[in-house]
Amino acid sequence: MRTATRGPRCFGRTAIPLRPSMEEQMFAGFSDPFEALLALQRALDARVASDWMGRGTAAIGSFPPINMFQKDGDLVAVVELPGVDKNDLEIEAKENTIRIRGKKTIAYGEQASVHRRERISGVFDRTLSVPIRIEPDRIKAEYRDGILALFIPRAEADKPRSIKVS
């Protein structure tokens, strides 16, 4: 770095930088670095905000929660959907993916003033990749007491074959 005899002091030496410092480059256009950080935080908050995870909820994570396990070579998915009407559910399957869409509505009434909202409501859309090839036409879905159970058969072409040794 070239130095001059006059100018700001840097590490005990007088220096005139030939180009803006990294700090100056980072905050160019911002008069206050804290305002820049707040603007970044607002942008990040806006990016992750959605109707489903709206303000005032205590919800964290994916909705609906799903457990999937293998039983007798086929898959079973158990989906928790409390308060969701089965007529508001759509299930699609293709190759090795399953899509579950729906909506959950909560009616407060016209004269209600909400003071705290922790129950989730709104539209949801989950797409699951499964580790095997499946037969979409043979999937069975049962919905009872807020629990959706999907019985997902493994495709015949994906099942292991026994080979006889001669």
Number of domains in the chain: 2
The answer to whether residue 165 sits within a structural domain is no
The whole-number pLDDT of residue 150 equals 97
Strands 122-129 and 66-71: unpaired
Which residue range is the domain that position 134 belongs to? 66-110+118-158
Determine contact, residues 107/129, Cβ cutoff 8 Å: no
Mean pLDDT along residues 19-47: 69
Mean pLDDT along residues 27-54: 66
Is the domain of 70 the same as that of 151?
yes
Tell me if residue 126 falls in helix, strand or coil: strand
Is the domain of 17 the same as that of 44?
yes
What confidence category does residue 141 fall into, taking pLDDT thresholds of 50, 70 and 90? very high
CA 31 to CA 4: how far, in whole Å?
27
Task: Note the pLDDT tens digit of each residue in 32-45.
Answer: 777 777 788 877 77
Q: What phi, psi does 14 have (nearest 5°)?
A: -85, 130
Average pLDDT, the chain: 79
Is the domain of 21 the same as that of 95?
no
Is the domain of 141 the same as that of 88?
yes
What confidence category does residue 10 fall into, taking pLDDT thresholds of 50, 70 and 90? low
The answer to whether residue 163 sits within a structural domain is no
CATH number of domain containing 153: 2.60.40.790
Is the domain of 28 the same as that of 102?
no
Mean pLDDT along residues 140-160: 92
Kindly tell me if the per-residue pLDDT of 54 is higher than 60: no
The answer to whether residue 61 sits within a structural domain is no
Task: Note the pLDDT tens digit of each residue in 117-139.
Answer: 888 788 999 999 998 889 999 99
Is the domain of 77 the same as that of 130?
yes
The answer to whether residue 4 sits within a structural domain is no
